[in-house]
Structure 1
Amino acid sequence: MPTLNLIQHHPAEGPGAIAHWAESRGLTLNVFRADLGQLPPVSADPVILLGGPYESNAGPAWLQAERQWLKGSLEQDAAVFAICLGAQLLALSLGGTVRRLDQTETGWTRVTFSDGQTLKVLEWHEDAIDLSPNAQLLASSEQCAQQMYRAGPTRLGLQFHPEWNAASVAELNAHFGDESPLPRGVQDDAAFAEVFSWLKVTLDAWWLASTGR
């Protein structure tokens, strides 16, 4: 069975809907907890980077180790699908910068793609990415212009969280308590379903470009 490496940065931020996509495609996810010092060997293997409540420009020592690991993997032409903190780490590795937003962007937010399509997605971030010159902007929101970007056919960065499903939100709310700005109570099942449909198509295309299958 094919395998796919996934880097997790926080106990309450797991693969979520990505795990359902992987199962549907017959893929085994190899989950590494970077915050516990776990990283795969530097290689050209495709990898997914998740988010986390950390400062991408500085952060704890293990995050600096991950930045070095990511730099080495990119030098070997690794394909990367990066979300939130992961997208910031990828942008920094590609020559972009990360800065504070004027106001934290949280909850359900509508992003607009370069083809005019829109999608309601979940957000929780206070940083914004300034892209490197060789990166292509793919989506924006009213508050944050850099919501999704591409750097070649196999490197994608997303500031929003398509991997969060209702179970993910419940886990985040339980872990962070009153600090969490995410929705509570009855969840918007239709919105989650629409995001998951988009995520499946997007991951399928990334996986095909990355592996040829």
Structure 2
Amino acid sequence: MHIEPGVVVGGKIFLSYATAIVSFGIAGEKAWKAIGNAYSFVAFCARSVVVTGLVLLFFEILPHYSAGISEVHFIFGSTLLLIFGEESVAFGFIFGLLIQGLFFAPFDLPQYGMNITTLLIPLYLVNYAAQSIISRKTPYRDVKYWQALTLSLLYQAGIVSWVGFWVAYGKAFNAVLLNDVLVFIFSYMSVIIIEPLIDLVILAVSRSWVRLSENSLVQYRFYHEGV
């Protein structure tokens, strides 16, 4: 989902700064509400560090390639959300993407606002949807497979929608642009097909993580009912 350089340029790129600031503000508000005491703060920081490392792993190590107007990556946003919590995943994305741009892919830094918005806004929407799809009496580790699949597909749809928005906003529509968009969509189909299946596997494996039930690296909601 890394927007390629040149898709949004000039004065238009300031919109991405604005959307990024809004995304940061939402992340900060959610983190502030989630941190109720010193233990919660330490747990939040620990989970954020873990997610940051996973984001770098996903973006730098796992298979990824350029496809027209954007790069194609495996992200596992909905699964990270269920295991680590919305606020920790948001900050993990923020710092993971920033570290990648600073040390591994400096050519992506100008697109940071677009890329982080593309990751965070769908994450917030999926978290909101999860509250309706999953009963408050159901720990996230016990969600049904159709529920996990629905959340995964919603997140992928959000990513594709934001990529499409940035392309439509930044470039005049023509045959070349249409071809680039189609290349991205067909390339991203591999992620849309494969990633939800991997999400289900991770969910199935996580049900055996009994020893982590009191570990601060896993959010409380993963093993317990909602409050």
TM-score, reference length from structure 1 = 0.30
Structure with larger Rg: 2
TM-score, reference length from structure 2 = 0.29
Of Structure 1 and Structure 2, which has the larger fraction of its residues in helix? Answer: 2
User: Relative contact order (C-alpha < 8 Å, sep 6+): which is higher?
Assistant: 2
